[in-house]
Structure 1
Amino acid sequence: MNLEQLTTRLRNEVTAAGILRQSGMFRHSPRALAAGARGVGQLGPFGGLPAYCAAVHSGVAIIDDRGELTFAEFARRTNKLANALRTELRGKTGRPSIGIQCRNHADALVTLCGAAATGARVVLLGSDFGPRQVAAVSEREKLDAIVYDAEFAEAAAAFDGPRWCAWYDGEQPDDALERLIASGDDAVPPRPTQAAALVILTSGTSGIPKGAPRGEPKTLMLTAGLLQRIPLRGNERVLLSAPVFHGWGLLVAVLVLMLGSTLVMHRRFDAARALDDLARLECSTFIAVPTMIRRVLALGDAVRSADLASLQIVASGGARLDPALVAQVQDVFGPVLHNLYGSTEAAYISIATPDDLAIAPDCAGRPPVGNTVRIADANGVALPAGTEGRILVRTPGQIEAYTDGTSRSGADGFLDTGDRGHLDSAGRLYVAGRSDSMVVSGGENVFPEELEIVLHAHPGIADAAVTPVEDAEFGQRLRAYVVRAEGVDIDEATVRAHVAAELPRSRMPRDIVFVETLARGSSGKVLRHTIEELRETHA
């Protein structure tokens, strides 16, 4: 790091400290903060999170489908699990690796923090993973144990080692995580011999996801950057519907607990229940992916009649947010929408505030403190504002390399997101689409995402996905899979007329296929195997 980079880093850290102070992160007594800091110092940021929270906060930390967990109970439960894991995995050579395949519930976070308190390498397995993915990831990441929800029993069984079931319905199984926790001592665990690490897996269900490893955060910018754009505060209730095993949901979960607010979580998303939670629990914040927000708005009159006076923030991440949905949220909820653009490899990259979206509803916002975005040509040369190119980024949360040793970063430290887009004169980022999904049609570059946005804007279309397919004459063509809205008998001619009114002729899909549903993963993206099955069915 040269002198200029060091100066910039110090300046950014000072800015970040100011943002954290403004958010109320340091509003507690010096004695409480010192006690919390000791917990983090002994067990690390993730392992010490429950101890920190118990030292500086009182009240309810988490509400899930089983009930409530106070901050003190969160800390005791984590301590007991950490000590039990130390006993169970005693004799393992090197740092233990523990996989977690759980949906949103308190014990998913207890497991993450408890495993981290032992100095483990924690690998977050997606809810979309089947036996093949679990087996491959377990071997590559050298897992020593897995904690899973009962619905993932078949996938978890692909791992030949200790397994504990965190969530189950009915009678308690022999491998229940509850039994393991009950066997542990609730004393604060000893300092681990090495720092914990976290591995978040890239999205995808067709191939084997890559592992994006992160050590313990050594900068204030990772938390401050998000708070700079999304003003989370303490002593509130936050409905977290985005999955905690993805970076978006996990970062919010940690910040909410650090600030002393209550996390409201359910294992499965249900739009009606989400709306009820927002009103009944007077939630100030709704953290979701675009599909979830769209399903809540689809409740129609129930949304407009709900008492949502406490709702100040609707934050979307994990997938692209289309302008039609932005307009709907602004109309129904007011100027509360925030849009986060990020990736597994870089964490969050830019965040659009309500002011940004009021001016440019199709933008991904601006990079917060510590983040740098560069638009470059094929050779890595920076391009001026308004010119489309590859989106390269440098962020405090980006990885150096995948767990298999490969990397997407250049010698200058900029990471290639795999997306294309441009910056405007105000520094707002616009994402055109994935570089690898671009189709050349009529001599023009066409992105399926652009067509998907237009399709979603039609009131007779409940869902849509666009993908390139092989074409004997043109090499590739666009095919749109469309789900009709309930009670609407929209036809192909209507869809084509709608697209023709919004996009150039080169964007018109050659095929329009009506389907009953499009299965989406927890991040809101259409599952890869769903598209592959549709391609085979409608070849």
Structure 2
Amino acid sequence: MDALFIGGTMLRRGLLTPGNPARIVRQFAALGRWGFGLAGELRQAAARSPQQIAIIDDQRQISYETLLDRAERLARSLPVAPGERVGLLCRNSARMIEALIGVTTLGADPVLMNTGLSPHQLATVAKDQGLRALILDDEFAPRVALVDGVEKIGEERFEQLIAGAPAAVTHPPERPGRTIVLTSGTTGVPKGARRPTPGGFRPLCSVIDRIPLRARDRVLIAAPLFHTWGFAGLQIALALRATVVLRRKFEPAAILDDLDRHGCHGMIAVPVMVQQLMELPPPARRPALRVVAVSGSALPGGLATRFMDRYGDVLYNLYGSTEASWASIATPADLRAAPHTAGRPPYGTRVAVLGENGEPVPAGAVGRLFVGNEMLFEGYTNGSARTMHGGLLATGDLGHLDADGRVFVDGREDDMIVSGGENVHPAEVEDLLADLPQVREVAVIGVPDDEYGQRLAAYLVLRDGETLDPEAVREHVRQHRARFSVPRDVVFLAALPRNATGKVVGRELPRPAA
């Protein structure tokens, strides 16, 4: 069954097209020797399509052949031993990808550092992860002043290492480098999660079966490469021998220009980016997109429908996490039928909604979401782990399945509050308020309450020129939800505090008095 699924998917996505026989032999030989990690995927792409443009960023474009050469030279010259850890503090660029693949080619472990971390957080992460070196963009040099005992490699030193190194790494390392992705850190210092290396074609095919990216597409990766979804987008793009379009910082108007100028077929993004694109006037010419794949947080309100009405039925929503990789994927048809759905589990993935006793709950009932697939993380670098049940990993979310088997995420387990003895899910109220035409973005959280233990507080950012009365907000919730879901506190802000991946940082929201 796996062979039929994999073969059929690869054929539909253009991965089994005829080509130069010698190159095809070298392509599969590279995968056989180097495996399905980034180092192996780059080598197979360079073997099959050496002159194909691999990356277009703000400063340059380079072929697969050149990308491989630079990554190998970096691996030969880095002052790091196999098995050691190297932090990467870089924005989306060719250099970030060269560093990532160079480190893994050496057999060292790259640690993907969030560019939004504070100096204190960066110093703590560097110490916790035991970094031997730190490769960074020059703009971050002042921010790593507190990082001690780590060799810092800025942009000039990076180029010197490549220029002065011999070419060609002919043998894989004894121990393949393992990528460490940091959790979001929205509630404190991020933890390191060890990502597994794919063991074959099935993980790739499970995703591209639902998200129809094709071989040699042009794909703009707007999600940060240090983020699980941006990193996954890079893995998919290299496997497809795609041309990756990058921009150091997300600027909505510039992104629209890139999509048109480079003729992009796909975009990898996080939901807040899609939301910001919708705040621009409609483009004079619709981009030639077949796929806009988002992940990382819920799609607010009716965003999915509004986006597809403007850009066509091209939106795909992947629900997953750093620890679980993916759990479900919503296609445009799913989102048209149920705009808030997270879709259905792809091939090889199982999702279960379990109650307090660990038994499955009926369709429509809310429970804890568990997922199982071959790409579950290998544990946190600090030795801690996530709850498992029957081989399934707890996502940390609450959710439910509808009668058609679609997954819905109802909020984080630790976000649910108990107000006057009633269970209240802030995400449910967020979705309701996001549909108000005056509201650009909203966050709802639980805060302490002297009488009820906890209550909801709503934080709203209004669209330019719009006004809204706090009592009108409460009345809207009162008409559509139970009384205990009505937020007593309604706070208007100029912007919500977000991290570099677009997630709202709840601890930075102003707290009302109890």
Specify the TM-score bucket, using the shorter chain as the normaliser.
over 0.9
- Which position in structure 1 is the counterpart of 2:24? 33
In structure 2, relative to structure 1, the CA distance for the partners of 1:221 and 1:502 (3 Å cut) is farther
1:161 correspondence with 2:150: yes
Asked if 1:275 corresponds to 2:264, the answer is no
Alpha-carbon distance in 2 for matches of 1:467, 1:43: 46
Contact 2:459 2:490 in 1 (8 A): yes
1:462 match: secondary structure: strand
The residue type paired with residue 15 of structure 2 is M
Deviations 1:283-311 (A, max 9, x none): 121221111111111112xx2x4312511
1:240 is aligned to: 221
Contact 1:393 1:414 in 2 (8 A): yes
Residue 432 of structure 2 is aligned to residue 454 of structure 1: yes
Question: Letter of the aligned partner of 1:375 in structure 2?
Answer: V
Aligned with 1:476 (options 454, 464, 484): 454
Which residue pairs with 2:310 in the alignment?
332
Q: Helix, strand or coil: the match of 1:422?
A: strand
Q: Secondary structure at the match of 1:226?
A: helix
User: Which residue identity is paired with 2:60?
Assistant: G
Report Cα offsets for 1:98-139 as digits up to 9, x if no partner. Answer: 111111111111111110001111211111222332222222
Correspondence 1:141-290 to 2 at 5 A: 141-157=129-145, 158-166=147-155, 172=156, 176-290=157-271
Question: Which of 113, 117, 120 pairs up with 2:101?
Answer: 113
Q: Which amino acid aligns with 1:165?
A: G
The amino acid across from 2:97 in the alignment is L
Cα deviation code 1:78-110 (max 9, x no counterpart): 11111112xx22xx4x61211111111111111
Matches within 5 A, 1:262-411: 262-300=243-281, 303=282, 305-410=283-388
Aligned counterparts of 2:244 and 2:132: Cα–Cα separation in 1: 30
Shift of 1:159: 4.0
Distance 2:248 2:446 in 1: 34
1:159/1:394 Cα in 2 relative to 1: closer, same or farther (>3 Å)? farther
User: 1:118-170 CA deviation, whole Å, 9 max, x = no partner?
Assistant: 1111211111222332222222322111111223223433142211124xxxx
Read off the aligned partner of 1:39 and give its amino acid letter: A
Structure 2 residue corresponding to 1:65, chosen from 40, 46, 58 = 58
User: What's the C-alpha RMSD, in Å, of the aligned pairs?
Assistant: 2.0
Question: What displacement does 1:398 show?
Answer: 0.4
> Is the Cα–Cα contact under 8 Å of residues 278 and 308 in structure 1 kept in the other structure?
no
Q: Residues 455, 151 of structure 1: CA spacing in aligned structure 2 closer, same or farther, 3 A cutoff?
A: farther
Contact 1:43 1:117 in 2 (8 A): no
Is the aligned partner of 1:138 residue 2:100?
no
Q: Which amino acid aligns with 1:135?
A: A
- Give the aligned residue type for 1:373: V
Secondary structure, aligned partner of 1:489: coil
Superimposed CA distance per residue, residues 212-231 of structure 1 (whole angstroms, 9 cap, x where no aligned partner)? 11242213222111101100
Alpha-carbon spacing, 1:527–1:22, altered in 2? closer, same or farther (3 Å): same
What is the CA–CA distance in structure 1 between the aligned matches of 2:5 and 2:322, rounded to whole Å?
A: 25
Does residue 49 of structure 1 match 2:41?
A: yes
| Equivalent residues of 2:107, 2:175 under 8 A apart | yes
Correspondent of 1:127 among 99, 107, 115: 115
1:319 shift after superposition: 0.6
Whole-Å Cα distance in 2 between the matches of residues 82 and 387 of structure 1?
A: 51
Q: Contact (CA 8 Å) 2:206, 2:346: kept in 1 or not?
A: yes
Normalising to structure 2: TM-score of the pair? 0.94
Correspondent of 2:394 among 398, 416, 429: 416
> Pick from 82, 99, 107: which aligns with 2:87?
99
Where 2:237 maps in the other structure, the secondary structure is helix
- Report the secondary structure of 2:319's partner residue: strand
CA distance in 1, matches of 2:463, 2:484: 26
Cα shift at 1:261: 2.1
The 3-state SS of whatever aligns with 1:144 is strand
**Structure 1 alignment gaps of length 5 or more:** 1-10, 167-171
Is this contact kept in 2: 1:83–1:189, CA < 8 A? no
Deviates more, 1:402-411 or 1:374-383: 402-411
Aligned to 2:68: 75
Cα distance 1:142–1:318, how it changes in 2: closer, same or farther (>3 A)? same
SS in 1 for 2:358: coil
- Distance in 2 (alpha carbons) for counterparts of 1:163 and 1:469: 41
1:421: Cα distance to partner?
A: 0.8
- Tell me the CA shift for residue 13 of structure 1: 5.4
CA distance 1:502–1:283, change in 2 (3 Å)? farther
What whole-Å deviation, never above 9, does each CA across 1:311-341 have from its counterpart, x for those lacking one? 1112111110124101211211121111110
Give how far 1:205 is off.
4.4
Which has the higher mean CA deviation after the structures are superposed, 360-369 or 396-405? 396-405
Question: Is the CA contact 1:387–1:422 (under 8 Å) kept in the aligned structure 2?
Answer: yes
Q: Is the 8 A contact 1:196 1:216 kept in 2?
A: no
Find the counterpart in structure 2 of residue 509 from structure 1: 487
Aligned partner of 2:454: which letter? Q
Q: Bigger shift: 351-360 or 482-491?
A: 482-491
